[in-house]
Every structure is written in structure tokens, then in C-alpha cells.
């Protein structure tokens, strides 16, 4: 079932840089997709199209039946509520505990405290941080901080989880654990996952669908792909 559809998407930044050129792709519900490519190839730009951080210059970006490219600024928040986003830098609030950081995502949507609690505890359990609920971010390792971010991204039960180099700051072992968490979310919660990464080892090991972007052009779309399937990268 089609969930995401990009049609002839072009993105030229105001600086004149063309980050995406005539990119078309469809992604089904429940898929797990890697987006790979050299630095500055347009991976982050692709990701930003999906949660409407950037608008395409041309083309359409349909997410869950809505053309995000035509979404008015005042309505973007409705899209964001259906999407969880995880970054390389963790973007945690330093003065809040793990619990509070995750709860924050629901609090600012006006969810009641009684509804917040079970959802937050469940999300924290999914990422395996039950023992650290009351810790502050500076008391956590990098991997643990990233788990908090993932918990925050999934606490509102989004249909889509977008990750832009979530393991970029982590050592290989920690990266592996984080990938287990994300894979588990994809399997158990049926959340569609789209993840931009540089990490060859992860991509090669996990045998998921791989989109290869080169200079803003989609040059490869491999099911059960790996870096090996394209020598240039």
C-alpha cells in the first residue's frame, strides 16, 4: 500500500544549489528504507521534504494522502504530529529528565497528564531505558541519549519515523543497538522507517531497501540492497 510518493521533485535552495533533481519514488506502509549517498548528495534535503521542513521547488510530495508541498505553513503542525523525527544531534532539553523530555512532546500538544504517563512509560520501555527514567541527559551515554530521542519521536505513535544519521555520533556497537531498537519499532509497531545514513556496515548487514542519491539524482533503488551493490559509493 502506497504511503509516500514523490513525483518529479526538484529542490533548488535560494543560494542556487540544486539539492534534488527530478526525483520520483514511492514507499509503502511499513517499509524500512535507507537513503545513502555521498556528503552533500541531498539525503537530508530528501528527508526534509517529507516532514515539510523544506518545500520542493517543483513536483509533489505526498505523505499519507496529503500533498505536503502544497500544505500551508499554518497546517504543517498537523503533518508533524503523524511523523517522528530523529537526528544525529539529540536535541534533548538538558534541564528535563528522560521522562520529562519524552512527555514534553505530548505536553505541548495539550494531552492530559493521565494520558501522557502510560504512553511515555511505554515508549521508554520500547527503547530499553526503563532504568533511567529519572536521569538527566548529561548523566546518559550517547547511545542512551539517542534512545530518549527515539522514544520522544514514537511517543505519539506516528505512522512514519524519519531518521537523519541517527548513529552518526555513535560507536559501532552502540550503533548496532540503536538499529535494533529502530528495527524493532518497524517490526512491532509497523511504523514506516526512512533513514539517511553513511554507515556502510549497518546498511550491508540489515539488507533493507536502499535508495542511492548522487548529486541530487536518485541513481539506485535496491531491494535488500547494500553498499556493495554500488561500487561508486
Ligand X SMILES: Nc1ncnc2c1ncn2[C@@H]1O[C@H](COP(=O)(O)OP(=O)(O)OP(=O)(O)O)[C@@H](O)[C@H]1O
What does the longest C-alpha to C-alpha distance in the chain come to? 53
Nearer to another protein, 111 or 217 (CB): 111
Cα(33)–Cα(47) distance, integer angstroms: 12
* Partner whose binding site includes residue 28, from ligand X, Mg ion, another protein, none (CB under 5 to 8 Å by kind): none
45 binds, among another protein, Mg ion, ligand X, none (CB under 5 to 8 A by kind): ligand X
189 Cβ contact partners less than 8 Å away, ≥ 6 residues apart: 126, 154, 157
Please name the residues in contact with 114: beta carbons below 8 A apart, sequence gap of 6 or more. none
Of residues 6 through 65, those in contact with ligand X by CB under 6 A are 13, 15, 17, 19, 37, 39-45
| Distance of closest approach, residue 89 Cβ to Mg ion, in angstroms | 12
Closer to ligand X by Cβ: residue 53 or 107: 53
Q: Which residues contact 4 (CB under 8 A, 6 or more apart)?
A: 25, 26, 27, 50, 61, 62, 63, 64, 160, 192, 194
Q: Is 232 in the site for ligand X (CB under 6 A)?
A: no
Q: Name which of residues 21 to 60 contact another protein (CB under 8 A).
A: 51
Binder of another protein out of 78, 117, 187, 224 (CB under 8 A): 78
**Nearest-approach distance from CB 70 to another protein, in angstroms:** 18
By CB under 5 A, name the binding residues for Mg ion.
Answer: 44
Of 35, 156, 141, 154, which Cα lies nearest the Cα of 90?
Answer: 141
User: Binding to ligand X by residue 166, rule CB under 6 A?
Assistant: no
Tell me the window of 9-17, 75-83, 166-174, 181-189 that interacts with another protein (CB under 8 A): 75-83
Nearest to 129 by CA among 114, 113, 150: 150
Selection from 54, 57, 59 nearest residue 76 by Cα = 54
**Residues linked to residue 134 through DSSP beta bridges, in sequence order:** none
Does residue 110 interact with another protein by CB under 8 A?
A: yes
Nearest distance from residue 59's CB to another protein, in Å?
A: 24
| Residues in contact with another protein by the rule CB under 8 A | 51, 73-74, 77-82, 85, 91, 93, 104-105, 107-112, 152, 156
Amino acid at each position: 500500500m502506497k504511503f509516500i510518493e514523490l513525483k518529479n521533485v526538484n529542490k533548488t535552495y535560494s543560494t542556487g544549489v540544486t539539492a534534488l533533481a527530478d526525483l520520483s519514488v514511492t514507499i509503502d506502509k511499513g517499509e524500512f528504507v535507507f537513503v545513502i549517498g555521498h556528503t552533500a548528495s541531498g539525503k537530508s534535503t530528501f528527508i526534509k521534504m517529507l516532514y515539510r521542513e523544506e518545500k520542493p521547488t517543483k513536483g509533489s510530495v505526498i505523505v499519507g494522502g496529503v500533498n505536503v508541498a502544497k500544505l500551508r505553513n499554518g497546517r504543517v503542525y498537523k503533518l508533524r504530529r503523524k511523523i517522528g523525527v530523529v537526528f544525529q544531534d539529540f536535541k534533548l532539553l538538558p534541564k528535563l529528565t528522560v521522562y520529562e523530555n519524552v512527555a514534553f512532546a505530548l505536553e505541548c500538544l495539550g494531552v492530559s497528564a493521565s494520558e501522557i504517563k502510560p504512553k511515555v512509560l511505554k515508549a521508554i520501555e520500547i527503547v530499553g531505558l526503563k532504568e533511567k527514567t529519572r536521569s538527566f541527559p548529561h548523566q546518559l551515554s550517547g547511545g542512551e541519549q539517542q534512545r530518549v530521542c527515539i522514544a520522544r519521536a514514537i511517543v505519539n505513535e506516528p505512522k512514519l519515523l524519519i531518521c537523519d544519521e541517527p548513529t552518526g555520533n555513535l560507536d559501532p556497537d552502540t550503533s548496532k543497538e540503536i538499529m535494533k531498537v529502530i528495527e524493532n519499532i518497524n517490526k512491532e509497531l509497523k511504523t514506516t522507517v526512512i533513514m539517511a545514513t553513511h554507515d556502510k556496515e549497518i546498511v550491508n548487514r540489515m539488507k533493507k531497501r536502499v535508495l542511492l542519491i548522487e548529486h541530487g539524482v536518485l541513481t539506485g533503488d535496491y531491494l535488500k540492497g547494500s553498499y556493495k551493490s554500488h561500487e561508486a559509493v
